Amino acid sequence: MKIEREDLEETVSLMKSKGFDYLVKITAVDYSDHLDAIYILRNMDENRDEIIEFSMDPADLWVPTIMKHHISADWYERELGEMFGIEIRGRKAKRLLLEKWDGKASPLRKNFKWAEPY
């Protein structure tokens, strides 16, 4: 389902009340001119998934945290921040997943510059 970014928390809460209480994955896709954030929720009783998706301008990359609805969003949100450069608003913990990562580059973005081979 396509939504507006500002409706994410409300949508996740509504889906959870409808039995979609398992967070399968949060990721993003870089299309160069925009990024899509993708949230996959599962209803275990009905064995059914629902995909929530919204677009963002590369100059305005942020999403609200959904950790109050799904504590397992912690690692996925940190991955969005490090790998795609997406700010997670409302997060308290800012610790990086990767120990020796400067947190400035976003390797899963199309504009990432890979180092020259040895």
Which CATH code is given to the segment(s) 5-89? 3.30.460.80
In this prediction, residue 102 carries a pLDDT of: 66
Q: Report whether pLDDT(111) > 90.
A: no
**19-62 tens-digit pLDDT:** 999 999 999 999 999 999 999 999 999 999 999 999 999 999 99
In this prediction, residue 98 carries a pLDDT of: 65
- How many percent of the chain have pLDDT more than 70? 87
| Domain boundaries of the chain, sorted by first residue | 5-89
- Alpha-carbon distance of 55 to 33, in angstroms, equals 10
Other CB atoms within 10 A of residue 56 CB? 17
With a threshold of 0.85, does the pTM exceed it?
A: yes
